Amino acid sequence: MSTETEFKRDTNYITDRITRDGRDGFPVETDRYRLVVARACPWANRAIIVRRLLGLEDAISMGECGPTHDQRSWTFDLDPGGLDPVLQIPRLQDAYFARDPNYPRGITVPAIVDISTGKVVTNNYPQITLDFSTEWKEFHREGAPELYPEDLRAEIDGVADLVFKDVNNGVYRAGFATSQEAYERAYDQLFARLDWLTERLAGQRYLVGEHITEADVRLFTTLARFDVVYHGHFKCNRSKLSEMPVLWAYARDLFQTPGFGDTIDFEQIKTHYYVVHTTVNPTQVVPKGPDLANWLEPHGRESLGGSPFGTGTPPA
């Protein structure tokens, strides 16, 4: 977190990529890499969704950290003995330090680790999901959707940039602000963008084009956390998601689509934010609510046309 009153995210990630031509020294290979995630984290949740939608489970294994962590690192406390069964490490920081013993930045998820060396390859989460779509095509399941079609990439990128600035990161800018001015600026930008998204989605089922794309994945992981965390914990309380009819129906549509809702663990999400963020919630008391059954209510957005997977099929 910045020492200034406005939260500033460190976006200096490890930029190596896993590509078909292996230009950074990491060619696409099945069974070589392990995706490390935490279901609590919205940035990691994107990678979980895209991996599942594209059917990359057999090509890239996945390790899961627990919902809480200390100041040092995410940990594999969900696994027997507290060790990742493939990497055989207790803390994700071990893979970062294997790459650079003096790694100076945060230990973040998602991260992709080269199993043979135990070293992190990349933690550049926006690029990870795009590369899943473009560089790993050889290993996509039959019927995998086109999440990043070439003819829509400029529009997807443009929408995603706005959503990142004002919504994905905007909730953090509100929640971690340390002055009234910084908080209200982030709050106003967040809800102005949510209003813009409402107008956009009032007449179309998905953010860009007729089918689910990367843009929808990126917005969904924030919307899924809005009422359970961001509305109260981060003071984003002009409206609950469930009080914004268009966005609420859009979020339920995605939640009920295979590959989205089945990646969400609301209990881990609540535990992470309310236990880890002690500057925001020093008591570490985790709220009992809200009621989550309404995520399964009919959304009615089929009437807008479009189809989730285009000519593809849902994941198994």
pLDDT in tens, 198-220: 999 999 999 999 999 999 999 99
Whether 5 is in a domain gets the answer: no
Structure tokens, 249 = 């129906």
| 129 plus 186 within the same structural domain | no
| 291 plus 185 within the same structural domain | yes
User: What share of the chain has pLDDT > 90, as a percent?
Assistant: 96
Whether 22 is in a domain gets the answer: no
| 95 plus 57 within the same structural domain | yes
| 135 plus 166 within the same structural domain | no
| 163 plus 122 within the same structural domain | no
Please state the residue numbers annotated as binding site for glutathione.
74
Residues marked as catalytic: 41, 172
| 81 plus 225 within the same structural domain | no
| 135 plus 206 within the same structural domain | no
Whether 19 is in a domain gets the answer: no
Tell me the C-alpha distance between 35 and 62, whole Å. 5
Question: 91 by DSSP, 3-state: which?
Answer: strand
For residue 37, give its domain range.
33-139
Whether 18 is in a domain gets the answer: no
CA triple 93-32-48, angle to 5 deg: 65
CATH number of the domain to which 47 belongs: 3.40.30.10
| 178 plus 278 within the same structural domain | yes
| 121 plus 173 within the same structural domain | no
Whether 4 is in a domain gets the answer: no
Whether 199 is in a domain gets the answer: yes
**Which of 107, 139, 171 corresponds to the end of one domain?**
139
Q: Are 33 and 112 in contact (CB under 8 A)?
A: yes
pLDDT above 50: residue 104 = yes
Tell me the C-alpha distance between 191 and 169, whole Å. 13
| 127 plus 257 within the same structural domain | no
What's the pLDDT tens digit per position in 12-69?
Answer: 899 999 999 999 999 999 999 999 999 999 999 999 999 999 999 999 999 999 999 9
Number of Cβ within 10 Å of residue 192's Cβ equals 12
Q: Are 286 and 268 in contact (CB under 8 A)?
A: no
Dihedrals φ, ψ of 120, to 5°?
-65, 135
CATH number of the domain to which 195 belongs: 1.20.1050.10
pTM above 0.75, yes or no: yes
**Which of 139, 168, 201 corresponds to the end of one domain?**
139
Q: At residue 221, what is the residue type?
A: T
Whether 24 is in a domain gets the answer: no
Average pLDDT in the chain: 97
Task: Single out the residue of 61, 69, 16 nearest to residue 38, CA to CA.
Answer: 69
**Looking at residue 1, what is its pLDDT?**
42
Alpha-carbon dihedral of residues 27, 28, 30, 33, nearest 10 degrees? 70
* pLDDT (mean) for 167-187: 98
Quote the number of domains for the chain.
2
Please state the residue numbers annotated as binding site.
74
| 285 plus 162 within the same structural domain | yes
Query: Between helices 214-225 and 245-255, what is the axis angle to 10°?
Result: 110
Q: Are 107 and 126 in contact (CB under 8 A)?
A: no
Structure tokens, 179 = 């002055």
Whether 285 is in a domain gets the answer: yes
Q: How confident is the model at residue 3 (pLDDT cuts 50, 70, 90)?
A: very low
**Which of 139, 161, 189 corresponds to the end of one domain?**
139
| 78 plus 178 within the same structural domain | no
Q: How confident is the model at residue 2 (pLDDT cuts 50, 70, 90)?
A: very low
